Structure 1
């Protein structure tokens, strides 16, 4: 798999992880309909809803998102989610290779609390992802309430 460690992908990854940057998500796509070459296709600062607008139903894509949420009035948590998007109209061979190829991407975008396997844009519902991040993070100061 080529391109996953390209300088622009690594720079976008560091920007998403940085407290000083407004960028809170990145999206990686395949450079061509066949082959394993990857490219940075988009970044943004509008959260998961903005990320969802860039997902393509005909592709496998990989995303990395910074999610902020409050545990209580005094604290803010920041967690990261790795997203494997397999669009409903993706060709069969591309879908079949996604399981193997996502592992290489996951090694580069390695610091995340959860993996979200998505096939519909509603799979990126921020409320549901925050619930999963709370569970993954250990202490839940809301008593299980989202």
Structure 2
């Protein structure tokens, strides 16, 4: 019988708040599985490094801050990512919905949520498009064409 998934809530909360803070440079955190426990596996800066944290044979969650807006209005938006690699088995895939509900007890503030299963979907343009569609004003260039 499989054991229930657990997590160290304080460690997860600390990583979550680090990404949300304007006082640190941390832009993302990755949460992976160590047996039946969700752990904070990495934190960092830069989308390229974020992309490299996910392998084909694992399940993971990512929380990332992305700078949005234009020259008139800059703002941080947050995205919650569920990663299920293409080599992950059926039982582990099925378990992701309950595991996601556990981590979302802490990671609760984000503009959009994505489930990603292919490396090709791990794309900054795609992420920004999803965040733009999630809401908020898009002011343009500040130059009005007549």
In the superposition, the TM-score normalised over structure 2's length comes to 0.86
| RMSD across aligned positions (CA) | 1.6
> Offset at 1:4?
5.1
Residue 94 to residue 133, structure 1, CA distance change in 2 (3 Å): same
Q: Are 1:18 and 2:49 an aligned pair? A: no
Query: Any gaps of 5 or more consecutive residues in structure 1?
Result: none
> Corresponding residue for 1:39?
39
1:113 & 1:72 partners in 2: Cα distance?
A: 18
Question: Radius of gyration: which is bigger?
Answer: 2
SS at match of 2:76: strand
Query: Any gaps of 5 or more consecutive residues in structure 2?
Result: 142-146
- Give yes or no for contact 1:4–1:108 (8 Å, CA) kept in 2: no
Kindly tell me the number of residue pairs found equivalent between the two proteins. Answer: 137
2:75 & 2:89 partners in 1: Cα distance?
A: 38
> Offset at 1:129?
1.1
> Corresponding residue for 2:66?
67
- Counting helix residues as a fraction of each chain, which structure ranks higher? 1
1:17 & 1:122 partners in 2: Cα distance?
A: 26
Residue 111 to residue 37, structure 1, CA distance change in 2 (3 Å): same
2:59 & 2:71 partners in 1: Cα distance?
A: 39
Q: 2:100 pairs with 79, 102, 106, which one?
A: 102
